[in-house]
């Protein structure tokens, strides 16, 4: 009897790849940011942060929820 090892290993490989793909899809959950996440106090409409890679502009709505992020 000749054992077909290629078929067994290939189906195991497919199973591992499928599990990894399903696990990677779980990591992209949306999150709502607000002014307290950035340690900002009071009513903030716009905030400009200078970083090593450039400037980032954060815009918030009247309730303090982040609506727009722009890298300048």
- Per residue in 33-66, pLDDT (tens digit) is 999 998 999 899 999 999 898 999 999 999 999 9
Q: pTM for this one?
A: 0.56
Query: Which residues, 6 or more positions from 58, have their beta carbon under 8 angstroms from its beta carbon?
Result: 38, 46, 47, 48, 49, 66, 68, 69
Domain count, the chain: 1
Quote the domain boundaries for residue 18: 5-71
Q: Residue 14 in contact with residue 39, Cβ under 8 Å? A: no
pLDDT, mean of residues 14-43 = 82
């Amino acid at each position: 009897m000749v054992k077909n090892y290629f078929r067994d290993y290939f189906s195991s490989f497919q199973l591992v790849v499928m599990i990894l793909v399903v696990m990677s899809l779980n990591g992209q959950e949306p999150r709502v940011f607000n002014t307290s996440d950035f340690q900002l106090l009071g009513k903030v409409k716009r905030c400009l942060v200078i970083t090593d890679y450039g400037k980032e502009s954060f815009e918030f709505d009247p309730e303090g929820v982040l609506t727009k992020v722009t890298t300048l």
